[in-house]
Copies of this chain bind each other. A is one copy, B any other.
Amino acid sequence: MTLNVALLGAGRIGKVHAKAIAATEGARLVAVADAVADAAQALAAAYGADVRSIDAIEASDDVNAVIICTPTDTHADLIERFARAGKAIFCEKPVDLSVERVRACLKVVEETGAVLMLGFNRRFDPHFRAVRAEIDAGRIGAVEMVQITSRDPGAPPPSYIKSSGGIFRDMTIHDFDMARFLLGEEVDSVMATGSALVDPEIGRLGDFDSASVILTTASGKQCTISNSRRATYGYDQRIEVHGAKGAVSAENQRPVSIEVATAEGYTRPPLHDFFMTRYTEAYAAEIAAFVKAVDGGAPASPNGKDGLAALLIAEAALKSIAEKRAVSISEI
């Protein structure tokens, strides 16, 4: 069976997903919707799809699945709407910035039995997947401690902070999901600290551009996260997992791996400077996983509950900073 997919949102990430659908056997892009008509038209033309309104897609019998890449504040409504319409749903994270709204939305998903997969793309990075595979294979024994380093090449414009929900809901949330992916046990409590060292304006808006977090599970497993909105040398994305028998780590990725040796030393080029080039393979793999999940091959994962779990950790981190104490997830 071929999965007929409609794309809601023809922006930057929408283009990435359209390309991924085209490259996935068993899937076909049939419709594109976007508030900007030209954007929808260009993307639809490139992949032989139609431009349709969201209403029309909802009513389309030839559409089995939707990929939601619209602005964050529309996600929950669209998920509910397409869940009720019986379509399989892939939605960019987050479901919503409000825990309450996410819970309500997931209730609808549950009631309708809809397939919902959430776009935590890093779970599909081949290097991070390989880390997880080594854990699953028992190479490092029982997991004890995780270290996640995640630093963006540059800070977003302060205006972005408001709509993004701040560093923990927007950036660290990927690390919270990765921690859950690797720890093999739910996070129980959170300690966090945050500062605005990169851009004081971010601080004036009540957000942080530099953050450190410790996550602890009930059995005492620990995860440290180090975040910054500044990394002059490129997109710094490393994980290491320590277990009873050893450790496994994923190195940084660079587009070109050469080395120049001169009297000044040995120099390798900077890392990828953009998350889209860094995670090219991950974006393709997550769409392939979604297609497979809809096809019944495997449960959709990560799903809405994973999105909620990561959001709860983000909320706990914010509360930890505000109250200068360890915050339990159960408090949120």
Task: Answer yes or no: A161 CB below 8 A from chain B CBs.
Answer: no
Chain B hits for A233, CB < 8 A: 246-247, 261-263, 265-266
Which residues of chain B have C-beta atoms less than 8 A from A326's C-beta?
A: 191, 193, 324-325
Chain B residues near A159 (CB-CB < 8 A):
none
> B228 and A214: CB pair below 8 A?
no
CB contacts under 8 Å to B, within A67-125, are none
A263 CA / B324 CA spacing, docked (Å): 35
A251 within 8 A of B: yes
Q: Which residues of B contact A130 (CB under 8 A)?
A: 256, 258, 269
A100, B255: Cα distance in complex, Å = 42
* A259-B239 Cα distance, complex, nearest whole Å: 11
Given A230-B144, A265-B267: A222 in contact with B247 (beta carbons within 8 A): no
Kindly supply a per-residue 1/0 record for chain A positions 140-164, scoring 1 wherever the CB is within 8 Å of any chain B CB and 0 otherwise.
1000110101010000000000000
B221→A247 contact, CB < 8 A: no
Residues of B within 8 A of A212 (CB): 145, 214, 216, 222-224
**Which residues from chain B contact A214 at a C-beta distance below 8 Å?**
191-193, 212-214, 224
Does A260 lie at the interface of the complex (its beta carbon under 8 Å from any beta carbon of B)? yes
A264 within 8 A of B: yes
- Inter-subunit contact A145/B210 (CB<8 Å): yes
Whether B222 and A195, one on each chain, are in contact in the complex, defined by CB atoms closer than 8 angstroms, is yes
